[in-house]
Amino acid sequence: MKLHLLLTGNELMAGDIIDSNSAMIAEQIKDYGWRISKKITVGDELALLCTEIDQLCEDADVLIINGGLGPTVDDLTAVALARVSGTEICEHPQALAHLTQWCTARGFPLNASNHKQAMLPKGCDIIANERGSAVGIKLTHKNCLIFASPGVPSELRPMLSKEIIPALDKLFPSDHIQTLRLGVFGLGESGIQEMVNSHLRDWPDDIELGFRASMPVLEVKLTTRGSNPDARLRQWSPRVTELLADHLLGELPISLPAATINALKANNLQLCTAESCTGGLIASQLTSVAGASQVFPGGIVSYSNHVKAQLLQVSEESLASDGAVSENVARQMALGALEATGADVAIAVTGIAGPDGGSADKPVGTVWIAWGSAQNLKAIKLQLPFDRTAFQSWVAALSLDLVRRQILGLPELPQLMKRFQR
């Protein structure tokens, strides 16, 4: 099945709202082995909308149009579909019945603006909308099956799962598209591509390698189609996971906090945190994972030197002589957190997030991370070239990965950390 998607709305073009509906559609159809082959976004301009509908139907089996079914003058999808298909707009009895019931249930009068949502292309079928006032539209143009749906995500979701996808499932067999998604930390897209080019020279044509860059976890995608996609992925995924080695966190959805918590649970260990420059971000990320209480007794945010000394037992002499951003202080923060919480391993971070506060010997972006147990405590100095928010995010991510690696007995540093090491 060749499926195209047309999104409409000036608010999308202006960036007033973020398109989440195309992701929702792609997510819901993937289990059926289908994918979107083309996506177009246009504003609320009737001539342009008509042109795009007509052109998209030329080489598609299915066109899903999202948006433009509301009660206002800039909602043009019904009019555009009527014009493209050479029909007229008229009152649709089922759409009117739905609209009347929807208004009555809410104590709203059925005014002229609302009535517009019952004016549909003559002869079209409707798609039930259990949440909103606007029904969807179903018709055929140039042998392409068109489904028009409202742009409200809460209305689109049940329309997809209960109406549109079941209709497609009856008409189109699965394309048997299957994707394996792997979460990776510490390698970039180009680096992974070079590794594949060098070590997997026999990469097959029927498996598509793709990437989705995000922070901090990079998504590596293996996509295949055919009569037995499972077998092809089972054949190749071990080679890819071996290549990614210690940078592989697991199959998505996986996060660094979750991967770290999994490692702690597997080894029956508890982790505590002592945070200065991240202001509790590491603890927050850990506790966002269900079940974190099994391995995370707590942490201490020691933003001031006074709190470092009082709660983490960092010596006044070290703070005066070495400064808060120093190896000595980071190590003492970790040991203080271990003592205070009774945990087995600790993360301690102290740095200069900026944009001010740096010096010649400790510029903005400097951070010391200490991690490990009291008997095996390590520390590293990094220089991170990011703004304040990104600096804090990267410090949290790198710290969690350092602990994960130590617990699992993996190489100490991810590749990308070496470029920040000082």
Strand order of the sheet with strand 248-251? 207-212, 218-224, 178-184, 248-251
How far is Cα 133 from Cα 101, in angstroms, rounded to an integer?
9
State residue 244 phi and psi, 5-degree precision. Answer: -70, -30
Q: Which of 363, 288, 365, 377 is nearest to 328 (CA)?
A: 377
Q: pTM of the predicted model, to two decimals?
A: 0.72
User: Roughly what angle, to the nearest 10 degrees, separates helices 46-58 and 77-85?
Assistant: 60
Would you state the pLDDT for residue 357? Answer: 87
SS3 139: strand
Strand (E) or helix (H) holding 337: helix 327-341
Q: What is the pLDDT along the chain (422 residues), one digit of tens a residue?
A: 999 999 999 999 988 888 999 999 999 998 788 999 999 999 999 999 999 999 999 999 999 999 999 999 999 999 999 999 999 999 999 999 999 999 999 998 899 888 999 999 999 999 999 999 999 999 999 999 999 999 999 999 999 999 999 999 999 987 778 889 999 999 989 999 999 999 999 999 889 999 988 888 999 999 988 778 888 898 899 999 999 999 999 999 899 999 999 999 999 999 999 999 999 999 999 999 999 999 999 999 999 999 999 999 999 999 999 999 999 999 999 999 999 999 999 999 999 999 998 898 899 999 999 999 999 999 999 999 999 999 999 999 999 999 999 999 999 988 888 889 88
Would you state the pLDDT for residue 66? Answer: 96
Would you state the pLDDT for residue 186? Answer: 93
Place of tokens 């008409």: 171
CB 79 within 8 A of CB 46: yes
Sign of CA dihedral 412, 414, 415, 416: negative
How far is Cα 159 from Cα 163, in angstroms, rounded to an integer?
5
How far is Cα 328 from Cα 325, in angstroms, rounded to an integer?
9
How far is Cα 255 from Cα 281, in angstroms, rounded to an integer?
14
Would you state the pLDDT for residue 300? Answer: 98
CB 251 within 8 A of CB 182: yes
The neighbour count for residue 120, using CB atoms within 10 Å, is 29
How far is Cα 357 from Cα 65, in angstroms, rounded to an integer?
52
Would you state the pLDDT for residue 415? Answer: 85
Residue range 317-372, pLDDT digits in tens? 999 999 999 999 999 999 999 999 999 999 999 999 999 988 988 999 999 999 99
How far is Cα 340 from Cα 274, in angstroms, rounded to an integer?
10
